[in-house]
């Protein structure tokens, strides 16, 4: 046990006695604490208060076959520290319930309800224990329990569908939008209560296209899991693929070649630039600035063409692999990369100048869809939406991975929390990404770009974290026998950030909803997974 882990264990043991049973350092930045029971509340209060910690994610695991218990996992991080502290709280199989944190920590609302839906563990004291991942008319099944077979065919669904809160009051009406939308997007239901045009409140319903991704991971050999990870959210294929690969590499003790680490940085930043540019165009398009959107679309097309030249895929699929990347780059490709960046940077500055020159655009974006920093912190908002509302988090800086520690960069943070600042965060991140790629391209690309991966020992746990272009992506795995996985937990940033949309639209008018929604641009697929 490291000295840091030992000191932490002694501190917690003195404070909480035998409830803290053991601490194990899987690696220098990943500590596991085992509790004697499921009541995490006192330790959570202590870690959040005394250690200035943040609760990153909450999830469950079915360990009945091996230990006759379920486990809830609570992943904490401390500001300024690269370590993840993962608290394991056993939940008795004969009494499958645990104390809820959601009343005090709204950020875990959906995550605790997912545990209820997937595993049948009751979150006692949850302020809104309704189903979130499984819809109301599903039968009583718990798909992530080990005794639920992936091949199970469920009967036809019957019973009541989701009942929305009624709009009450004279002149108050409901406007249902979705789940099927006019655009080519995935389904999600938005139910507005309005008094004229102002929005009083919004109710969300997601998980219309739940794909059972976490269950699918349990049936695949580890190397095939990379392709499944790439499909979690198509516009974040390399980010999710990399997070998964990093988790497996950490579990297997694989040292990824330096060349591959640098290439991962370049590809992750290309994915960030491509999506940010598309979002900037879509935001101004939703307030009528069609010309600027056309320019942004032209730049995005140039970027996805560059992606294809560098990887063979416009969405960077097929490059992530365990042990490195699937293929290297030659001198001609690197030359094309740098020339394309030079051209793009000039054109992007022209686009930003065009947008800045439009007072009417600024008028529509400023003070629209405000998410105040206090509310963002309470809801656990991350990524672009969080940084525009004062949440200074970035996995690239806080938990350095790949080769990011070699390329310092600035994290743009604003306090106003409106659509304008969410767009401004994207604009500034594009500039930082261009700088990172240029410096990375100056490094040597000689040597191996992939190493062989040995047979991965069973029963090892590991976290893989990546700052995707939307925000923090977490993959947690437990390895099983025969190079398969026992469990793979996926956390896309959208699962944190949908509640931000509910807060940000209040008091705005209905015609501003599209641009507020686009300024967050959350992933239906990443949420439904």
- 21: helix, strand or coil: strand
Contact criterion met (CB below 8 Å) for 230 and 319: no
User: Above 60 in pLDDT, residue 141?
Assistant: yes
Q: What is the mean pLDDT of the chain?
A: 94
- 107: helix, strand or coil: helix
Q: Name the strands in the sheet holding 461-467, side by side, starting at the edge strand that comes first in the sequence.
A: 461-467, 472-479, 485-491
- Give the highest mean pLDDT range of 11-15, 208-212, 232-236: 232-236
The whole-angstrom separation of Cα 2 and Cα 343 is 49
| pLDDT of the residue at 156 | 83
The whole-angstrom separation of Cα 30 and Cα 60 is 18
Q: Is the dihedral of CA 216, 218, 220, 226 positive or negative?
A: positive
User: Above 90 in pLDDT, residue 165?
Assistant: no
| pLDDT of the residue at 186 | 86
| pLDDT of the residue at 167 | 81
User: Above 60 in pLDDT, residue 169?
Assistant: yes
Angle at 481 between CA 475 and CA 487, to 5 degrees: 25
Angle at 499 between CA 487 and CA 90, to 5 degrees: 35
Q: What end-to-end distance do the CA atoms of the chain give, in Å?
A: 36
Q: Hey, what CATH class is 3-124 in? A: alpha beta
Least confident segment among 155-169, 345-359, 373-387: 155-169
> Would you call 452 exposed, middle or buried from its count of C-beta atoms within 10 A (0-12, 13-18, 19+)?
exposed
CA 197 to chain centre: 32
Confidence of residue 1 (pLDDT cuts 50, 70, 90): low
Own/partner contacts of 291-300, CB < 8 Å, gap of 24 or more, are 291/354, 292/351, 292/354, 292/355, 292/358, 292/361, 295/347, 295/350, 295/351, 295/354, 296/351, 298/347, 299/344, 299/347, 299/348, 299/351, 300/274
| pLDDT of the residue at 2 | 59
- Third-level CATH fold of 213-511: Cytochrome-c3 Hydrogenase; chain B (1.10.645)
Given the structure tokens 């102002």, which residue do they identify?
Answer: 198
Give the DSSP letter string of 142-206: -TTSTTS-TTPPPPPP-S--PPPPPP-STTEEEEEE-SS-SSS----EEEEEEESSBEEEEEEE-
Domain ranges of the chain: 3-124, 172-205, 213-511
User: Above 80 in pLDDT, residue 315?
Assistant: yes
Confidence of residue 5 (pLDDT cuts 50, 70, 90): low
The whole-angstrom separation of Cα 155 and Cα 138 is 9
User: Above 90 in pLDDT, residue 40?
Assistant: yes
- Helix pair angle (493-505, 109-119), 10° resolution: 130
| pLDDT of the residue at 297 | 97
Q: Is the dihedral of CA 328, 395, 119, 68 positive or negative?
A: positive
| pLDDT of the residue at 3 | 60
Q: Name the strands in the sheet holding 189-195, side by side, starting at the edge strand that comes first in the sequence.
A: 172-177, 189-195, 199-205
Q: Give the DSSP H/E element, type plus range, for residue 337.
A: helix 331-356
Which among 518, 436, 527 has a CA at the least distance from the CA of 181?
518
Confidence of residue 4 (pLDDT cuts 50, 70, 90): low
Angle at 505 between CA 501 and CA 507, to 5 degrees: 155
Structure tokens at 26: 């899987």
Confidence of residue 171 (pLDDT cuts 50, 70, 90): confident
CA distances (Å), origin 126, targets 58, 64, 91, 109, 130: 14, 24, 16, 8, 9
pLDDT higher at 445 or 409: 409
Summarize the confidence of residues 404-432 as an average pLDDT: 97
- Predicted TM-score (pTM) of the model is 0.95
Confidence of residue 76 (pLDDT cuts 50, 70, 90): very high
CA 494 to chain centre: 6
User: Above 90 in pLDDT, residue 262?
Assistant: yes
Summarize the confidence of residues 486-501 as an average pLDDT: 95
Instruction: Return the HEC string of 446-480.
Output: CCCCECCCCCCCCCCEEEEEEECCCCEEEEEEEEC
pLDDT in tens, 84-114: 999 999 999 999 999 999 999 999 999 999 9
Summarize the confidence of residues 423-437 as an average pLDDT: 98
pLDDT in tens, 329-369: 999 999 999 999 999 999 999 999 999 999 999 999 999 99
């Amino acid at each position: 046990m490291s000295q840091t882990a030992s000191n932490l264990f002694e501190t917690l043991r003195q404070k909480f006695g035998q409830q803290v049973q053991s601490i194990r350092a899987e690696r220098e930045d990943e500590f596991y604490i085992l509790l004697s029971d499921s009541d995490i509340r006192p330790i959570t209060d202590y870690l959040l208060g005394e250690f200035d910690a943040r609760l990153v994610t909450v999830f469950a695991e079915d360990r009945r076959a091996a230990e006759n218990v379920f486990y809830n996992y609570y992943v904490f991080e401390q500001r300024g520290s690269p370590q993840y502290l993962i608290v394991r709280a056993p939940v008795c199989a004969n009494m499958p319930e645990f104390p809820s944190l959601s009343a005090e920590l709204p950020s875990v609302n959906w995550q605790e309800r997912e545990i209820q839906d997937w595993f049948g563990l009751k979150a006692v004291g949850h302020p809104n224990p309704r189903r979130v991942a499984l819809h109301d008319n599903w039968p009583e099944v718990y798909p992530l329990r080990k005794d639920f077979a992936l091949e199970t065919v469920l009967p036809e669904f019957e019973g009541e569908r989701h009942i929305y809160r009624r709009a009450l009051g004279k002149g108050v009406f409901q406007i249902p939008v979705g789940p099927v939308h006019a655009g080519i997007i995935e389904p999600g239901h938005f139910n507005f209560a309005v008094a004229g045009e102002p929005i009083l409140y919004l109710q969300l319903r997601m998980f219309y296209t739940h794909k059972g991704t976490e269950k699918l991971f349990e049936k695949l050999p580890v190397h095939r899991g990379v392709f499944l990870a790439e499909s979690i959210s198509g516009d974040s294929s390399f980010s999710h693929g990399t997070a998964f690969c990093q988790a497996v590499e950490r579990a297997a003790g694989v040292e990824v070649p330096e060349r591959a680490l640098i290439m991962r940085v370049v590809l992750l930043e290309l994915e960030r630039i491509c999506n940010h540019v598309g979002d900037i165009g879509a935001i101004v398009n939703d307030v009528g600035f069609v010309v600027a959107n056309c320019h942004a679309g032209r730049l995005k097309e140039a970027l996805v063409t560059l992606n294809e030249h560098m990887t063979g895929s416009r969405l960077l699929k097929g490059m992530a692999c365990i042990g490195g990347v699937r293929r290297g780059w030659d001198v001609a490709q690197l030359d094309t990369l740098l020339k394309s960046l030079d051209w793009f940077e000039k054109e992007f500055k022209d686009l930003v100048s065009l947008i800045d020159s439009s007072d009417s655009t600024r008028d529509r974006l400023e003070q629209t869809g405000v998410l105040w920093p206090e509310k963002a912190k309470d809801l656990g908002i991350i990524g672009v939406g969080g940084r525009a509302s004062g949440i200074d988090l970035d996995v690239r800086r806080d938990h350095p991975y790949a080769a990011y520690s070699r390329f310092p960069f600035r994290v743009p943070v604003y306090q106003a929390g409106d659509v304008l600042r969410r767009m401004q965060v994207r604009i500034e991140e594009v500039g930082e990404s261009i700088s990172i790629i240029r410096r990375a391209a100056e490094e040597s690309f000689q040597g191996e770009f992939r190493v062989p991966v040995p047979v991965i020992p069973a029963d090892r746990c590991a976290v893989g974290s990546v700052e995707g272009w939307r925000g923090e992506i977490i993959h947690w795995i437990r390895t099983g026998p025969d190079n398969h996985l026992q469990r793979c937990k996926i956390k896309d940033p959208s699962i944190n950030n949908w509640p931000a949309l509910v807060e940000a639209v209040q008091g705005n008018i209905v015609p501003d909803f599209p641009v507020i929604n686009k300024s967050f641009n959350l992933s239906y697929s990443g949420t439904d997974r």
